[in-house]
Structure 1
Amino acid sequence: MHLRHAAQQHLRRLARRYPLLRRVSVTTSLFTLVWLYVVYWGERTTFAEHIRTCAWDRWEEWPSDASPHHMVLIADPQLVDPHTYPGRPWPLSALTERYTDLYMARNFRLTNDRLDPDSVVFLGDLFDGGREWAPQKARPLNRHQREYLENKGIVRPKDGEAQQDAKDFLHGEEGRWKAWDQRLWDAEFVRFGHIFFDTKQLYPDTARETFAAFEVPAHEVSVENGARNASSQEYAVAGGKQRQVIASLPGNHDLGFGAGVQQSVRSRFQMHFGDTNRIDIIGNHTFISLDAPSLSAFSQYVPEGGETLPERAKELSPTWKPTVDFLENLRTPAGKAVAEALGSYYPTSQDIPRYPHAVIEPGDLTNHPSTAELAKDALSAKAQLPVILLTHVPLYRDPDTDCGPLREKGHAIAISAGYQYQNVITQPLTTKVVNAVSAAGVITHVFSGDDHDYCDIVHHYNIGQPDVANNDGSRTPILRTIKEITVKSFSWAMGVRSPGFLLVSLWNPVDAEGNTMGSSMRTVQTHLCLLPDQLTIFIDYAMLLGFTLAFLLLRAVTISVRAAGNPEELRDSSPTTNKLILPRYKARANGYSTPTKANGRHRASSSSMSSGQNSSSSLGVQRSYNARTRSVSPAVTNGYVLPQLPEHQGPLIEKAGFYPQVRWADPADDSDEENHIGDLDAECDSQAKWKRRRRVPLTLRRTAVEFLLSVFVVGLPAGVWYGWLISNG
């Protein structure tokens, strides 16, 4: 009881010191707790729950002794920029950019923390308007620089082909984005790095840290072209496995599409992310990344109808030729990559082709094969690993091919094309790609993006085997079944309510020859991991906000109406306190009082008739500013006198409630008291008139004040909690 009493007294003191605490009630406290819970659920719980349901052990079906390679495929992050929603005003566009970045960063960090994948691969469209931002003009190479780069194979000699430099950049959409240039692209690259490349994003575990592994000196050609004359440091990761990240696959929003691809834009993308056509051995599978937007310049749908004409395709050869060369010579680099991977598993089983230890005359060199030819022949005979093709643009399929039950909108990918996009590559180009990639091994899966929605289909192709030739030189076709999965967009601003990413589990134990050991089971398993619906979270916030405001408004109206029917409650609850007025009179021996001086002025004293005179006589006494008299000598207290009420005959019980309430006044008030002189005598005439009435606040005003203060009491802790959750991921 003592603690309770002490707590109540403490709360009362706090309420007197901080009037806002008087608005804290059971209702506002309940709403505050509800908001704290809902905000935490919308910013933390629902994200963690979605990632938790995608745990590898929930859907993998490998043998108990398997150690699969875990991969995450992310498609179409498409960082929101001024190009995404050009019609939106500044505040809304800035908020969209902020919340899309926050959404992707939070999900990516949780994915690395909870699922701990071995590798992360992006399927293109890293930016939304990357193709529209003009590249910075490159400095021309002098003769020494060009010769050096030509010898390294970085640039080709001038052979009369169409050469395109940054100065030839053509602005799309009729020059709508001319004001934007390389600076915006650099800013978008930094944003992308903060979301996906930052150490805290890739390795959220605090036990991991980066350290400088080795230094790479800057080359003179780079220095002469504006690079810093300093060495750069390559970093390694300690405290856990290092995660492999591949983000070099371009999309049509990164480069453009087909004839719209500009070499300066592609060179800028390759300089920051790597080769757009590449081969990687991951999880004992050969991953082949294909630059489909550039390749489509060879064959794409045109507005006039049909596909690209041969004459036009020849003009665009600088765009598609690097990818075609990559496909035509794919067998050798793929075999080399496989041999290196198998050599790391079985170091003693690989025979590296070498020149024979013999003296050869210079004239006889033409009769001896080169090391490259020996390596090519040796690698061609090696077994090949299963091949997985990565392309941003999906392969061709019939227009009404069903994408499966996991698709969110519609049932198929429409066959359509437009400005800088095409939903699928053309049918002849698809056949060319599949046959060329098959030279590196048997294609088991194709993963694509671009559509923003999920699509799971099975292709059937007659693929000619490069090692099986007929007498006439033709290839014997074999029917192959290839599964293609189009991955959902990772961003909630790309037209899908439930974004997602694809989990890929790879397990292919091989021997020294590259053959799969054990039963002939599938080596790839996939699972679609859905992310929270951000729009639904915002809608839930809005619904709760509307309900909160409506309930608090109803509560404020109820309190005001109830108080309006009880004026005493209004007066008691009014922030204006009653003032005690102490008359300033000095007692004299003759029973009269004289006004005291305050700040050099005489204060007038009020006069009244003696107690033996009637009240009607007292009303006739003349009042003046200079002197007023009282007929009763008041009692003296510390030099001041208190007013004395007329004596009444009868028992004391009759005097109960007669004395008026004491009113306080500020003694330091220098204002003229003419308006207050005689108020006490006049109010003492009747009990109903002793107290000066104050104007009662209007009900509408009181309702507004009560409503606003209640909203502030509920919104302040909820807003602070929400801001902290946003600022801390």
Structure 2
Amino acid sequence: MPAIRLSHLQSSSPRLVNLLRAVWVVAILWFELGTFLHHVSQCAWPDVPINPEPQRSVTTRDAHTHVMLVADPQVLDHRSYPGRAPWLMWLSQRMVDVNLRKSWWATLRLRPHSVVFLGDMMDGGRFAMDDAEYEDYHARFKSIFALHDDTPVHYIPGNHDVGIGGVAAGFSDQAHARYVAHFGALNALRVLANHTFVAVDAPGLVEEDAARAAAGLSFERWAAARPAGPIAFVQDAAAAAQGQADGPVVLLTHIPLARPDTASCGPLRERGTIRQGAGYGYENTLSARVSQFLLESLRPVVKNSGDDHDYCEYRHPLPATDEMPLSTTGAVKEISVKSFSMAMGVRRPGFQLLSLVPPASVQAGTATFGDVPCLLPDQIGIYVSVYVPLIVLSVLALLLANAHRVWQGSGRAGRHT
């Protein structure tokens, strides 16, 4: 039988070629766009019931404040995978950027009232680079996560944004100043739907607590000596929150709070759990002492974090007091939000929806918020389980069609000799 050349693929049956074209068009439209919209459409805002207001007509969306929580997008740069060849690093950046853009494009269909990024916006933001490179890097992040209206966006710093350990650990001495100039304050206090959002600089808190412990000072004495640091900020925020009797606190830190190493993260986690530990420029959790300091000072109704990349739900014990009542469960729920990126070691990236109502809008003693995780498509699974088999099947179909055509041609030629 004559050899089959790749050039013969062009001689395949027009019907087969057109069929393959149609299959590829449908596959690309669905798996590059449709499945993202479908996944987001399965996620609804977790609105809580509100008291009826006979005086005026109000829709559920008008009564609730919808906050979208996004963790660890970690937009890549050329430092992200030091062992990769330059061309492979370039390809990785482009593929991840495209995935982030698609996910963000679909996610915005939920029309949040406010967006909060829980840190690690840029994978290499903590490293030394010239101003022009940082500006380009930041512009890439803003281009990917563009908002076309006046939706307010808030950021909290992560260890990839500002580092832990400073210059001594090999990070830029300009990391903090650049973060503040491009993303805002390291620590922030905001009010949404009569809830006080306390956003704490977790990397700075890790550094400051290590210095405090080494000096043998209490949190109170340290705060008095360092009034501009995160410990003093937490104490000031606690005082401000106590001044609003009906203003529940929502605590935000990039790094999760401490918990037992055997603690479960619940059924929505892909694998493992969150364990205490530290390494180059990171801490898996805040220390047990700092975690207790945050919980006892602020007494939040809910806590949100990032950093871990996988979903984790854990309830921190915190008994109520006469002065500071809490829920009857005596615990604070912490949600570690999934990474928004396909490159952070989880097959299903995600984000979190938080729906708030003013405490006066609900019956006393009932929840003033609802939250729910949302999952995005498994992009790596699409590549491996859809595109690779489809490429193989397409090539095989064309090869077999051409082999059949050549075989038939050879048979006819043999009958005429």
Alignment pair present for 1:123 and 2:118: yes
Amino acid at match of 2:235: E
Match of 1:417 in 2: 278
The CA deviation string for residues 337-380 of structure 1, in whole angstroms up to 9 with x for no partner, is xxxxxxxxxxxxxxxxxxxxxxxxxxxxxxxxxxxxxxxxxxx4
Sequence identity (%) = 35
Residue 264 (structure 1) shift: 3.0
Cα 1:55/1:331, change in 2 over 3 Å: closer
Q: 1:525 aligns with which of 364, 370, 379?
A: 370
Residues 71, 119 of structure 1: 8 Å contact kept: yes
Q: Which runs of structure 2 are paired with 1:365-514 in the superposition (5 Å)?
A: 380=243, 382-410=244-272, 412-438=273-299, 443-462=300-319, 480-510=330-360
Distance 1:270 1:466 in 2: 36
Q: Which runs of structure 2 are paired with 1:658-697 in the superposition (5 Å)?
A: none
> Secondary structure of the equivalent of 2:78?
coil
Q: 1:273 aligns with which of 183, 200, 208?
A: 183
Q: TM-score, normalised by structure 2?
A: 0.85
Q: Which runs of structure 2 are paired with 1:164-563 in the superposition (5 Å)?
A: 181-196=130-145, 198=146, 202-203=147-148, 242-247=150-155, 249-258=156-165, 260=169, 264-300=174-210, 309-310=214-215, 322-334=229-241, 380=243, 382-410=244-272, 412-438=273-299, 443-462=300-319, 480-510=330-360, 517-539=362-384, 540-563=386-409
Distance 2:320 2:351 in 1: 30
The CA deviation string for residues 632-687 of structure 1, in whole angstroms up to 9 with x for no partner, is xxxxxxxxxxxxxxxxxxxxxxxxxxxxxxxxxxxxxxxxxxxxxxxxxxxxxxxx
Residue 133 (structure 1) shift: 2.2
Q: 2:70 aligns with which of 58, 67, 74?
A: 74
> Secondary structure of the equivalent of 2:174?
helix
Residue 129 (structure 1) shift: 1.2
Alignment pair present for 1:88 and 2:84: yes
Amino acid at match of 1:461: L
Residue 486 (structure 1) shift: 0.3
Amino acid at match of 1:46: T
Amino acid at match of 2:112: P
Cα 1:467/1:498, change in 2 over 3 Å: closer
Larger mean CA deviation between 47-56 and 450-459 belongs to 47-56
> Secondary structure of the equivalent of 1:124?
coil
Residue 300 (structure 1) shift: 5.0
Match of 1:62 in 2: 49
Residue ranges of structure 2 left out of the alignment (5+ in a row): 1-7, 53-58
Residues 187, 200 of structure 2: 8 Å contact kept: yes
The CA deviation string for residues 198-236 of structure 1, in whole angstroms up to 9 with x for no partner, is 3xxx23xxxxxxxxxxxxxxxxxxxxxxxxxxxxxxxxx
Residues 309, 344 of structure 2: 8 Å contact kept: yes
> Secondary structure of the equivalent of 1:501?
strand
Cα 1:320/1:124, change in 2 over 3 Å: farther
Match of 1:31 in 2: 20
Structure showing greater radius of gyration is: 1
Amino acid at match of 1:527: V
Residue 320 (structure 1) shift: 9.7
Amino acid at match of 1:33: A
> Secondary structure of the equivalent of 1:132?
coil
Residues 33, 102 of structure 2: 8 Å contact kept: no
Distance 1:486 1:519 in 2: 28
- Larger relative CO (CA 8 A, sep 6+): 1 or 2? 2
Residue 507 (structure 1) shift: 1.5
Cα 1:22/1:400, change in 2 over 3 Å: closer
Match of 1:133 in 2: 128
Cα 1:283/1:189, change in 2 over 3 Å: same
Residue 80 (structure 1) shift: 1.0
Match of 2:3 in 1: none
Residues 12, 401 of structure 2: 8 Å contact kept: no
Amino acid at match of 2:69: L
Residues 262, 319 of structure 1: 8 Å contact kept: no
Distance 2:301 2:216 in 1: 35
Q: TM-score, normalised by structure 1?
A: 0.50
Distance 2:393 2:48 in 1: 47
Cα 1:262/1:482, change in 2 over 3 Å: farther
Query: Aligned-pair RMSD on alpha carbons?
Result: 3.2
What is the count of residue pairs matched by the alignment?
392
Cα 1:547/1:23, change in 2 over 3 Å: closer
> Secondary structure of the equivalent of 2:22?
helix
Residues 13, 401 of structure 2: 8 Å contact kept: no
Distance 1:287 1:433 in 2: 13
Residue 445 (structure 1) shift: 0.2
